[in-house]
Every structure is written in C-alpha cells, then in structure tokens.
Amino acid sequence: MTDEWTYEQGAEYDRILGQTTGLLAQRGDEQAVALLVDVRSMTFASTDEVIRTEKVFDPWLPTGDDGPAIVTIYRRAAVLDVDEHLVSRFTEEVCGRVAATLSYVADRNGEENVAYVRARPALPEVEDDWRATYAARLASDRPSNQARREAAGAAHPVEDGLIFGSAEELRVYRALKHLQARFPAEDTIAIAPLPSVRLRSGNTWSPDLLVTGRGRVLIVETDGPHHRSLRRYVDDRNRDLQWQRCGVPVVRLAVEDLHDDAALTARLREEILRHLRRDG
C-alpha cells in the first residue's frame, strides 16, 4: 500500500533525498551518490512487515464493541523512481547502504519506520496527444535507441531529430558535423549520439557520441565535474576497458575545454585522424 502523496510531500521527500545524498557524500559513498542524483522522485510505501499494534483513542477511527481502535504500524520502504535502465544498478547491497542513511534522515524529518529502499522504473511523461505521438513512431521507418532518452522530455536538447544528454554533448556534435562537412564525400564520418550498446560485461551503456569512418569506430565522452570523484573515475576506467576489449578507443573531453569552438574542432580532428586512420 503506497502512502497518500501530495505536492507538499513531494517537496519534503525531495529534501529528504537530498539530505541523504549529502550525508552519503560526506561519508565517501560515491557509488550511492552517483545513483541517487539520477533519481527522478521518491515516495514511501508500507510493507507487510508489522512493527507493532497500538490502541488509539480517536473519535474519527472505527472502534470495536469493547474498546479503542487498534492501529497496526508497518515498516515502510522508500521507493525511488529511476530510468528503467538504471534499476539493475540499485543492487541489494547498494540499497542496504542507502537505507541505513535514509532511515536516519527520514526520522529526523518526521517520517518514521523507513527501513528499506527499492528502485522501480519511472513512468514516462506523456502529452495529451500521446496516441498520435506513438502512432507516428510506429509508422516511422525503424525504431531508434534514442527512445531511451525520450522519456526525459524537453529537458534535453534536440537537433537533426536526435536527442542529446546535455548542451555540452550537443556542442561536440556540432563540431563533429563541421568536420563531417569538411571531409571528402568519399572519405567522411558518421555520427551516432547516445546509441544503446550491450557489451560482454552484461551492461547496456549509451556513450555520448559514437563516431565511425574508414571501417573503424571511436567513442567520444564529455566529462563534467562529477566524473572527477574517485568512484566515478574507477567506473569510467572500467567502461573504457570494456570498449578497448572490443578494439574501440575512447576519447574523454572535459566540459571546461569545450567553450572554444576552434580548439574543440581541432582536437576532434586530431583524434579522428589518429583513431580512424586507414589500415596500413
């Protein structure tokens, strides 16, 4: 049974989630922090686990023939709404660590008996004309892995019918388009933003940009400040290793280096010529 939710509670729950993330950051749990910043919303739900029963003298509650109302108190779970592809990353171990901190924060905010954390797929946002939208998608030539980002709505930039995770990714895409136009027609590149790819490790990832040409492939990632934490650095190196096992090099660009268009284009041209060179 999910507790009744109001907009006021939504703001309160977001504050609890933020305070929990802050405490976990102070304690050095970068893995949990990296997951919690991607949570869309949180609510609380009662579980079937009974803590205790209480006698309550309340004229608004139904009573038995021989005394006060009996109220059953259940343990509660914090339910986190996240993008579907992130649900599997909320492992039992991670949820246990988050629950230990969130329970303390929730109790301090008047939300008692929160003992568990679980993640579930967030519901997609839809417009009033959703029937026409999805009918048009079915009628299109073929499905696209870009659909994984469509649930984010207008929060993400769009260009050439393609969706990007950030303004920085769009800037890199535009620089690659500039290079694409400059290369000869018979020796050019193709650009794929946010393709969904399953690697042998069992993970499904969406690199920021995949560039292919001359029979070779290059991954380009834009790294914001959150990539500099020790936990995120280790995760990024693990992802790069998975790509390297496929023979695919990875180029990482710091967002602070993307503001000079000429320098960005020159850097990308250098990386393309190095990694997408002809055999022999």
HEC per residue, 174-218: HHHHHHHHHCCCCCCCEEEECCCEECCCCCEECCCEEEEECCEEE
Residue that wins the pLDDT comparison between 125 and 68: 125
The residue that leads in pLDDT, 31 or 51, is 31
| For the chain, percent of residues with pLDDT exceeding 90 | 41
Give the integer Cα–Cα distance in Å for 144 and 163: 11
Percent of the chain with pLDDT over 70: 78
Confidence of residue 4 (pLDDT cuts 50, 70, 90): very low
Tell me which CATH code domain 145-275 carries.
3.40.1350.10
Per DSSP, the three-state class of 123 is: coil
How many Cβ atoms from other residues are within 10 Å of residue 9's Cβ?
A: 14
Between residues 259 and 176, which one has the greater pLDDT?
Answer: 176
Residue-wise pLDDT tens digits, 75-133: 999 999 998 888 988 999 999 999 999 999 999 999 989 999 999 998 887 788 888 77
Residue of 204, 28, 150, 38 whose CA lies nearest to 101: 28
Task: Render pLDDT for 8-44 as a digit per residue (tens, 0 to 9).
Answer: 667 889 999 999 999 999 999 989 998 999 899 999 9
CA 265 distance to own-chain centroid: 28
pLDDT at 3 over 90: no
Domain boundaries, the chain: 7-121, 145-275
Indicate the SS3 state at residue 222. strand
> Residues 202-228: pLDDT tens digits?
677 888 999 999 999 999 998 866 545
The encoded tokens of residue 129 equal: 């004309």
Alpha carbon distance 31, 39 (integer Å): 13
Of residues 218, 208, 224, 194, the one with CA closest to residue 271: 218
Mean model confidence pLDDT for the chain: 82
